[in-house]
Structure 1
Amino acid sequence: MKFTVLSTTAKHNTEFLQLPDRIILSNQSSNFLISSKMKLDEFLSGLDKDEIIIADCESKQGVSLYNEALDTSFTVLDYKPNDLTMEAADLAILNYFKRDLRGKSIAIYGTGNIASKLALRLSERSAKVYMFGRNPKKISVCVEALKQITFEPDLICYGDSDSRVDCLVSFVSSEKVIGKSYLEILNDNALCLDGGIGNFSKGFIKRALESNHEVRRLDVRQSQEIMDGYINSRLNSEFDNIIGTDTINGEIVVAGGIMGRDGEIIIDRISKPTRVIGVANGIGGVKNDSELSDEEKEKIKNVQEAIEQSFKKSVGR
């Protein structure tokens, strides 16, 4: 398979840029940043028709690469680069702290999409999260919103000069916003992770390294296995063989969580089923044996026999 990855950005600095190749399902794949419909149309017009396009589904600068690509003859899969970036940051932090964040304190500089999602994830891992940023109002909105949706609201905190943290992560689009003053909030041997790539000032980096902190730029390749699993599930989804509605031996059958109408037969999977689960009651449940009419019992028998006969044929018996 041949893949082409298309991403976009909220920054207004470029309309088209070839990025380093990605490895998708063990295939070296071209990777481009496109931020205008005109450039997208030009690019797609010269692309081989057998390419599978993996397109950023978030609309930025008035362009949705995914929606535009859907109107072409290409096979198109959607993905969210921001989510993969968040996953990579989560994995990087877990790696540094040997997969145990209990009792750890983490400062996140930023109040946008990635920073907010990462804050929620880390609080769910029992880390105490301090939120920092350039806009106090945005910080307040972010903190209070996260407190409403996490099971541990006390783990989401306002960051200030008195905070003491084991890790500092930045996710903003501006450069050199993390200056030397942020060294004051770091505990010994802290992890400093530049998620925005360019967020740390040279002075901060120099002093952090001199103080034996670990300084990293976020490498999104850390989430490659997550992306591979997602793409593979989209191309070869086993669940497509489980969910659905069909007719077996004249009876309507449902599977994969589809709520059947009263009297419809529920089976374990829609493709190559192995057994009958029961009879739908029409309100999201399965009828008890005591509720079954003689007609419904006969339906179960007929469908189960058809399933068994189909299975015997498939194995050549």
Structure 2
Amino acid sequence: MENDLKRLIDNVEALKRTASERRKESLVSLADTANQSIGNLVIGGFRETATTIGTNYLIRDFDLAIRFVEEIDGKVDFILLDAETKSGKLASSLATLAERISKSRVLTFKPNDITVDMIDALLSQKRKIQGTAIGVLGAGNIGGKTALRLVERGADVSLYRRDTAALAATIAGITAIAGRHCPGTVAAGTVEAICRESEILLCCTPGVVCVGAKEAGMLRPGCLVVDVGNGCLDEAGIALCRERGAEVLGLFVRPAYIGMMETQLATMSLLDSGIGQMDIPGGATVCSGGAIGSRGTVVVDSLAKPRTIIGIADGKGDLLPQDEAVGYSTAIAAAEQWMAERV
């Protein structure tokens, strides 16, 4: 354990130096993984957003995770904890880890949902989804959630999972959630049928090879194959996919990670600045986003550091249409003056 702890601490020191040089906040994320091909400790590369630089650590040894967070508490700006329960006990002990952190800011995240967001964004921009035959090998947490997204976009999705009872429940759940007006469909399929018929094939097993030479030999020319689980294709399978004219991609999740972090930090800023309302000079009332203002209240982006008027509250949790909001020009002018004085 001591050698692993030293490796982790040395990496954090390098992270802090880089963050200082680039004038960004430092972030450490701790996660577990269901990927069976990954060892007990993985130190990821630096991941940068507009305001942060972070590193992700996959740690399956809970005692090591505790030692690590105790060592880095207060030395980095944020510690991001995996909220999902996977194969190990790290995620299930999230509360215990959080209790050991008193100086750094603690946030939680769901890595699988970041993966699903990335698949959704990638496929919706790269290929036409509606009416497209999409196969998913491995309909677990990631595969099942992704299937729902794709069905809602109008795809015809075929799922394979070894646990047939769980697969049937997943399909029933997707069908119920998508609703009767959804143009997409979802059904169970065999590995062979899915490989032969899919225009897009998502490999979502936890690092277990599901597409080798045999499966690749069944693919349609032009099929888009995405290795979601990392290690779902072997070298022979990748080579034959390309030989047959299929496009093979690994899933690069960094854009979705950036989106997640921006949401986390914007939410933190909203909560830190306070959700509420207040009276201001000029006889007007302002409220922050998230507060339900009475009719005529001017909604602003922040009470602490207001920069933007979002609209006029309708008293029921929404905004008045623009043609009605213009009737509150006096309140808007008062809010603009109040904002200018707080710059």
TM-score under structure 2 length normalisation = 0.70
Q: Which residue of 2 aligns with 1:67?
A: 95
Check the 8 A contact 2:204/2:227 in 1, yes or no.
Answer: yes
**1:9 is matched with which residue?**
33
Give the count of matched residue pairs.
296
Give the Å deviation of 1:103.
2.7
Give yes or no for the alignment of 1:101 onto 2:129: yes
Q: Determine the structure 1 residue equivalent to 2:198.
A: 165
Distance 1:94-1:41 versus aligned 2 partners, 3 A rule: same
Instruction: Provide closer, same or farther for how the CA distance between residues 279 and 27 of structure 1 changes in structure 2, counting only shifts above 3 A.
Output: closer
Alpha-carbon offset, residue 156 of structure 1: 1.2
Output the amino acid matched with 1:74. Answer: S
Q: Distance in 2 between matches of 1:125 and 1:193?
A: 18
Alignment match, 2:44: 19
Task: Give, as a single letter, the amino acid of the residue that structure 2 aligns with 1:206.
Answer: A
1:150 aligned residue (171, 178, 184)? 178
Matched to 2:157, the amino acid is V
CA separation of 1:162 and 1:37: change in aligned 2, threshold 3 A: closer
Aligned to 2:276: 244
1:150 positional shift:
0.8
* 1:268 paired residue number: 299
TM superposition shift of 1:247: 5.6
- For residue 55 of structure 1, what is the aligned residue in structure 2? 81
Residue equivalent to 2:59:
34
Match of 2:107 in 1: 77
| Residues in 1 aligned to 2:317 and 2:207: alpha-carbon distance in whole angstroms | 50
Provide Cα deviations, 1:145-202, integer angstroms capped at 9, x if missing partner: 1011114275212223445111111111252223444346533210111111111234
> Is this contact kept in 1: 2:151–2:184, CA < 8 A?
no
Structure 1's 278 and 190: CA in aligned 2 closer, same or farther, altered over 3 A?
closer
Q: Is the 8 A contact 1:165 1:185 kept in 2?
A: no
- Name which of structure 1's ranges 244-253 and 76-85 shifts more when overlaid on structure 2: 244-253
Unaligned 5+ segments in structure 1 are: 287-299
User: What's the offset of the Cα at 1:284?
Assistant: 7.2
Report the more deviating stretch, 208-217 or 29-38.
Answer: 29-38
The residue aligned with 1:119 is 147
Distance change (3 Å), C-alpha of 1:279 and 1:45: closer
Q: Percent identical across equivalent pairs?
A: 24
* Correspondence 1:278-317 to 2 at 5 A: 310=338
Q: Which residue of 1 aligns with 2:256?
A: 223
Counterpart CA distance in 2 for 1:230 and 1:267 is 24
- Residue 79 of structure 1 deviates from its aligned partner by 1.6
**Counterpart code for 2:170:** C
The 2-side partners of 1:243 and 1:170 are apart by 43
Structure with bigger helix share is: 2
Letter aligned with residue 129 of structure 1 = V
1:210 aligns with 2:243: yes
CA distance in 2 between counterparts of 1:220 and 1:278 reads 38
Q: Distance in 1 between matches of 2:334 and 2:244?
A: 72
Corresponding residue of 1:89: 119
| Alpha-carbon shift at residue 131 of structure 1 (Å) | 0.7
State how far apart, in whole Å, the 2-side matches of 1:27 and 1:251 are: 37
Aligned-partner residue type, residue 49 of structure 1? G
Return the letter of the residue paired with 1:21: F
- Residue 163 of structure 2 corresponds to 135
Residues 272-310 of structure 1, C-alpha deviation per residue, up to 9 Å, x if partnerless?
Answer: 597995795xx8799xxxxxxxxxxxxx9xx99986874
Q: Does the 8 Å CA contact 1:16/1:39 hold for their aligned counterparts?
A: no
Give the Cα–Cα distance (whole angstroms) in 2 for the partners of residues 279 and 121 of structure 1.
Answer: 32
* CA distance in 2: counterparts of 1:158 and 1:267, whole angstroms: 51
Partner of 2:8: none
* Aligned-partner Cα distance in 1 for 2:57–2:310: 48
2:54 partner SS: strand
